Amino acid sequence: MAQRVCIIGGGVIGLATAYALVRDGAEVTVVEARDSLGSETSFANGGQLSYRYVAPLADAGVPLQAIGWMLRGDSPLKLRPRFDPAQWRWMASFLGACRSSVNRANAAHLLRLALFSQSTLKHWREDDALGGFNWRRNGKLVTFRETASFDHARAGLADPQQQQVLSAAECAQLEPALADAPFVGAIYTPDEEVGDCHAFCQQLAARLRASGRCEFRLGQAVTAIHHNQGAVNAIELGDEVLPVEQLVIAAGHRSPLLALPGLDLPLYPLKGYSLTVPIGPEHRAPELSITDYNRKIVYARIGEQLRVAAMVDIVGFDAALDPKRLALIKRQARDTFAQAGDYDAAVEWAGMRPATPSGVPLLGATAYRNLWLNLGHGALGFTLACGSAQVLSELIGQRRPSIDLQGFTPRAA
Ligand SMILES: Cc1cc2nc3c(=O)[nH]c(=O)nc-3n(C[C@H](O)[C@H](O)[C@H](O)COP(=O)(O)OP(=O)(O)OC[C@H]3O[C@@H](n4cnc5c(N)ncnc54)[C@H](O)[C@@H]3O)c2cc1C
């Protein structure tokens, strides 16, 4: 008999999970608090499918660097301390995860999942003809403004077989939009990809609807999870109680609100912003994805738009647009790629990355025998969605997961 699985959350993670499960023969219900799918953090993210740049934010040099950043007006990081134990607990764990050995281990876990995610998306694109989300294998340049950081990066390539070190002149030859940009060099990874995450969500939803094996409950927030004797048995949707057989939490940065006794969900929202800049025939936008390493800004051409994304603001659950932060991104983007698009017509957006302190998502079984987690993908949710979904589907179907899940297993509280 087919597995019946309920998924809380209709972002890229919940939808990819539903897709993998339906592909594997399950019957799925997706419960989404909003009236539309993929409309929270998965809506206008950076668009980079960044398979080989997965090193977690928590790294040895970061605490010191963060102090320096916060003294600057143009800092990519903003911290507003709050009387919020969750924020302090998260920061303390984050500092613990900054140790070099921990960072290296977590980067290895993320790389394993990212490469599996790339091959899973390839299967879905090719075997199922899944398209319509401006996917391209456009390659990526991580560009450096300072020699010291460039030298450090070239000495520690994540995948030397797949990556090339380029001089400033070689960068400009490969990507003419960089001709006037002030970079000393770059690391080039040819097989990185790009896509529109929101359009991807819509495509997955359309396939799920067409399958006849997926029900969507939109505009319904899960307010509680019922459990008994080590298993979950129902979810509350306001006045309604919906029985569940298998349950997946994929509710992004709000997942901790659904925590149960014995279930530790150490997530905190890291707010970021994006600009979606229209590109006309008169503009010269980069074709390759660009990560401006020193300014921590990413650029990705998605069809006829340039997506510019940046900033890590640790400011609680306030998702409002901050005009100062957006103006800074716009100024820095203009300064780097003056001709790339019509910045005056840019659409502004803010989103909350669902971040664990270590940067490694929580993926897999819990102490409740039919409750599963797929959450906490931080800055890499689009990149990791397909692989995380496929692995979870394998676990729920009691099959051996395609990758070693060491490092991802949810902790007991
Ligand atoms: C500025 C920025 C740039 C980024 N750039 C990239 C990038 O280039 N590449 C990349 O890979 N990633 C990027 N990311 C990260 C990526 O966007 C996220 O990791 C990803 O969208 C998280 O997906 P999700 O499904 O977990 O969360 P969401 O998309 O937030 O989905 C969770 C859903 O759960 C629903 N929900 C919550 N609580 C409940 C409840 N109680 N009941 C029912 N539904 C509920 C919400 O309404 C929401 O729709 C970026 C993020 C930001 C903010």
Question: What is residue 207's predicted lDDT score, i.e. its pLDDT?
Answer: 98
> Between residues 182 and 232, which one has the greater pLDDT?
232
Q: Give domain status of residue 326, yes or no.
A: yes
The string of pLDDT tens digits covering residues 219-228 is: 999 999 999 9
Q: Measure 368 CA to ligand 1 centroid, in angstroms.
A: 24
Query: What confidence category does residue 143 fall into, taking pLDDT thresholds of 50, 70 and 90?
Result: very high
Cα separations (Å) of 223 from 33, 148, 347, 362, 397?
10, 50, 33, 21, 27
Q: Tokens at residue 186, please?
A: 């770059």
Question: What is residue 2's predicted lDDT score, i.e. its pLDDT?
Answer: 77
Percent of the chain topping pLDDT 90: 86
Ligand 1, atom 35, residue with closest C-alpha: 9
Question: What is residue 289's predicted lDDT score, i.e. its pLDDT?
Answer: 97
Sign of the Cα pseudo-torsion (171, 177, 181, 186, in order): negative
The string of pLDDT tens digits covering residues 234-252 is: 999 999 999 999 999 999 9
Question: Taking all residues of the chain, what is their mean pLDDT, rounded to a whole number?
Answer: 95
Question: What is residue 412's predicted lDDT score, i.e. its pLDDT?
Answer: 53
Distance between CA atoms of residues 36 and 39, nearest Å: 6
Question: Is 70 a residue whose pLDDT tops 80?
Answer: no
Closest listed residue to residue 53, CA positions, set 375, 348, 359: 359
Question: Is 182 a residue whose pLDDT tops 60?
Answer: yes
Q: Give domain status of residue 316, yes or no.
A: yes
Q: Give domain status of residue 360, yes or no.
A: no
Q: Give domain status of residue 91, yes or no.
A: yes
381, 333 in Cβ contact below 8 A? no
Question: What is residue 300's predicted lDDT score, i.e. its pLDDT?
Answer: 98
Q: Which range is least confidently modeled, 22-26, 114-118, 153-157, 208-212?
A: 153-157
Cα separations (Å) of 308 from 93, 253, 276, 338?
29, 22, 6, 13
Question: Is 397 a residue whose pLDDT tops 80?
Answer: yes
Question: Is 91 a residue whose pLDDT tops 70?
Answer: yes
Question: Is 181 a residue whose pLDDT tops 70?
Answer: yes
Looking up residue 82, the CATH number of its domain turns out to be 3.30.9.10
Q: Measure 352 CA to ligand 1 centroid, in angstroms.
A: 7
Q: Give domain status of residue 305, yes or no.
A: yes
Question: What is residue 65's predicted lDDT score, i.e. its pLDDT?
Answer: 84
Q: Give domain status of residue 142, yes or no.
A: yes
Whether 251 is in the pocket of ligand 1, judged by its Cβ within 6 Å, is yes
Mean pLDDT for 360-388 is 97
Question: Is 413 a residue whose pLDDT tops 60?
Answer: no
Q: Give domain status of residue 76, yes or no.
A: yes
Question: What is residue 63's predicted lDDT score, i.e. its pLDDT?
Answer: 85
Whether 222 is in the pocket of ligand 1, judged by its Cβ within 6 Å, is yes
Whether 361 is in the pocket of ligand 1, judged by its Cβ within 6 Å, is no
Percent of the chain topping pLDDT 70: 99
Question: What is residue 1's predicted lDDT score, i.e. its pLDDT?
Answer: 67
Q: How far is CA 97 from the centre of its chain?
A: 19
Mean pLDDT for 358-367 is 96
Using CB atoms within 10 A of its CB, is residue 64 exposed (0-12), middle (13-18) or buried (19+)? exposed
Question: What is residue 259's predicted lDDT score, i.e. its pLDDT?
Answer: 85
Q: Give domain status of residue 393, yes or no.
A: no
Q: Measure 304 CA to ligand 1 centroid, in angstroms.
A: 23
Mutate to test the pocket of ligand 1, among 12, 39, 41, 48 (most ligand atoms within 8 A of CB): 41
Q: Measure 378 CA to ligand 1 centroid, in angstroms.
A: 8
Whether 273 is in the pocket of ligand 1, judged by its Cβ within 6 Å, is yes
Q: Measure 402 CA to ligand 1 centroid, in angstroms.
A: 24
Query: What confidence category does residue 74 fall into, taking pLDDT thresholds of 50, 70 and 90?
Result: confident
- C-alpha torsion 100→300→40→122, nearest 10: -80
Neighbour tally for 290: CB within 10 Å? 29
E-state strands within 279-377: 289-292, 297-302, 305-314, 347-355, 362-365, 371-375
Query: What confidence category does residue 411 fall into, taking pLDDT thresholds of 50, 70 and 90?
Result: low
Whether 374 is in the pocket of ligand 1, judged by its Cβ within 6 Å, is no
Q: What is the CA radius of gyration of the chain?
A: 21
Q: Measure 317 CA to ligand 1 centroid, in angstroms.
A: 13
The string of pLDDT tens digits covering residues 38-59 is: 999 999 999 999 999 898 888 8
Which range of residues forms the domain containing residue 307?
A: 56-99+133-193+268-354
Q: How many structural domains are present in the chain?
A: 1
Amino acid identity, position 142: V
Q: Measure 80 CA to ligand 1 centroid, in angstroms.
A: 22
DSSP string, 19-61: HHHHHTT-EEEEEESSSSTT-STTSS---EE-TT----S--TT
Ligand 1, atom 20, residue with closest C-alpha: 381
Question: Is 121 a residue whose pLDDT tops 90?
Answer: yes
Question: What is residue 402's predicted lDDT score, i.e. its pLDDT?
Answer: 97
Q: Which atom of ligand 1 sits closest to the CA of residue 220?
A: 43
The string of pLDDT tens digits covering residues 321-349 is: 999 999 999 999 999 999 999 999 999 99
